Amino acid sequence: MLLNSVILILQETLEAALLIGVLLAISAHLHSSLRWLWYGLSLGAIIAFFCAINMSTLSAWFDYAGQEVLNAIMQSMICVFIIVLVWLISSVRPLPTAASHAYGNRFAQLCCLIIMLAVIREGQEIMLYLSGFLGNVEHVQKVFIGSGIGFGIGASVGILLFYGLLALPTAWQKPAMLTLLALFAGNMLAQSAVQLTQVDWIAQTAPLWDSSAWLAEDSMLGELLYALIGYESRPTAAQMLSYVSGISLVWLAALGGTYYAKQQNLNGHSADSITSGACVK
Amino acid sequence: MKYSIIKKSSIKPSNIFPSSAAVRSLVVFLLSGLLNHAATAATPVIEITIKDHLFYPAELILPANTKIKLLIHNSDPTPEEFESYELNREKVIAGNSRAVIFVGPLKPGTYPFFGEFYPKTAQGKILVF
């Protein structure tokens, strides 16, 4: 029971932890205040709690497709917010310091929404899981200790990613962060396609390939790659199409934002931008 | 009841493209908006019950290339998560409630599934012929 709890909570925590790691690294560059993290985490936890206690009602919505539809909406929204965030950090050149409040606020709001959605999705599952053991004298201790360990490992991986990103050579940092954000966005959109396939809103098709013999999804590396880049050993066409769309849209937002910033610079409208020594190029 | 058997002849095929190739599945996906609605009515339903963290039946025999609607009753007071890597399915089911999961069309083979919250006991598989 202990090991099972460790693995289950780790799986659920990893995705949000990695996302938080990347957003924190960007935030560190912008010298943004970290209020968004606490707002995002607590709002997410509160909403997740209400979703968890009403799970059977929510699930019955849309002819028992409620859970999947809500998940798909939240995942798509995470993707959209990541796209807007990438546009925001690409379109301001050079990046302002915390002195630019309007910019910092918009950045913080987007991060808060992304974290909130990620926490709702994973948090409700964790809460439901733990609630099942509350009255279980035999297992409750093991389950909560295991969950604590799983949560700790997940959080550590996120922190490791955060420091890893900041330890990269400066020229690599922005490409690395954008690449990770693009992969997250693709992953989220692909997962929403899976959710909708599960309730037959998107037709199930044969998997495009099966790489489970080389790298099983339930292996340690498979789980990590699932959380990081959305690794799936048997993806369908809908998943691939969503994945590629998510990545492309983030890439377009980065390109578009950069182009917009250049135009603004050429037109001389960016004189009021404050240059930061530590900013992303 | 240990086995639930559906004869293929008793089911109307719901997928008009028996596809395995990547290109075909992409076409099916793109057309799915049109096809799905019409196909839903013909989808056979199989019921699974979760009781004392066990699946009843624990083994389902299904025909190949057919879409099936799984109706899962969780009659335990505790939540369970139906999960299968092979089927690419994952769904939390609250205690004392029902859930619907569509599987297939599937190629012949064995597709294990398990309850992620109680994986030691909640194990099952779908055999597709």
Render pLDDT for A207-220 as a digit per residue (tens, 0 to 9).
999 999 999 988 88
Burial A90-125 (b: 16+ CB within 10 A, else e): bbbbbbbbeebeebbeebbbbbbbbbbbbbbbbbbb
The span from the CA of A225 to the CA of A217, in Å, is 8
Q: Do residues A206 and A238 touch, judged by C-beta distance below 8 A?
A: no
> Is a pLDDT exceeding 70 seen at residue A269?
no
What number of other Cβ atoms are within 10 A of residue A171's Cβ?
9
The answer on pLDDT for B64 being more than 70 is yes
The mean pLDDT of chain A is 89
Q: How confident is the model at residue B70 (pLDDT cuts 50, 70, 90)?
A: very high
Q: What is the mean pLDDT of residues A175-193?
A: 95
- List beta partners, residue A278: none
- How many domains, in total, are found in chain A? 1
- Give the three-class secondary structure for A230: coil
- Whether the per-residue pLDDT at A277 is higher than 80: the answer is no
Instruction: Strand B45-51: give its sheet, edge to edge.
Output: B54-56, B45-51, B68-74, B97-103
A227-242 pLDDT, tens per residue? 888 899 999 999 999 9
Q: Within 10 A of A184 (CB to CB), how many other CB atoms are there?
A: 27
Q: Which of B24, B30, B32 is most worth mutating to test chain A (most A CB atoms within 10 A of its CB)?
A: B32
Residue A280 lies in a domain: no
- CATH of residue A40's domain is 1.20.1250
Is the minimum CB–CB distance between B34 and chain A shorter than 8 Å? no
B120 touches chain A (CB under 8 A): yes
Q: Among B60, B64, B63, B27, which residue's Cα sits nearest to residue B46?
A: B60
What residues of chain A lie within 8 A of the CB of B94, using their CB?
A: 55-56, 59, 128
Mean pLDDT of chain B: 80
The tens digit of pLDDT for each residue in A30-53 reads 877 888 999 999 999 999 999 999
CA atoms within 13 A on the CB side of A64: 18
A234 Cβ under 8 Å from any chain B Cβ: yes
ipTM, interface predicted TM-score of the complex: 0.85
Search chain A and give the residue with CA nearest B36.
A203
Whether B72 has a pLDDT exceeding 90, the answer reads yes
Buried b (16+ CB within 10 A) or exposed e, A14-32: bbbbbbbbbbbbbbebbeb
A200 to chain B, any CB pair closer than 8 A? The answer is: yes
Domain membership flag for residue A190: yes
Is B93 in Cβ contact with A59 (below 8 Å)? yes
| pLDDT score, position A64 | 94
Comparison of pLDDT for A104 and A64, the residue scoring more = A64
What is the mean predicted confidence (pLDDT) over B5-27?
A: 48
B101–A205 C-beta distance less than 8 A: no
- Least confident range from A56-60, A208-212, A276-280, B40-44: namely A276-280
- Are the beta carbons of A201 and B92 separated by less than 8 Å? no
Domains of chain B, first to last: 3-128 (2.60.40.420)
Residue A219 backbone zone (phi > 0: left; psi -120 to 50: alpha; other: beta): beta
Residue A114 has pLDDT above 90, yes or no: yes
A279 within a domain of the structure (yes/no) = no
A208 located within any domain: yes
Structural domain span for residue A20: 2-266
Contact between residue B115 and residue B83 where contact means Cβ atoms under 8 Å apart? yes
DSSP calls for B22-71: HHHHHHHHHHHHHHHHHHHTT--EEEEEEETTEEESSEEEE-TT--EEEE
**Could you tell me if residue A277 is inside a domain?**
no
Q: How many CB atoms lie within 10 A of CB A203?
A: 27
Question: What percent of chain A clears pLDDT 90, i.e. is strictly above it?
Answer: 69
pLDDT higher than threshold 60 for residue A273: no
What is the Rg, in whole angstroms, of the alpha carbon atoms belonging to chain B? 15
Angle at A53 between CA A50 and CA A54, to 5 degrees: 85
Whether residue A268 is predicted with pLDDT greater than 70 in this model: the reply is no
Contact B81 A129 (CB under 8 A): yes
Q: CB of A232 within 8 Å of any CB in chain B?
A: yes
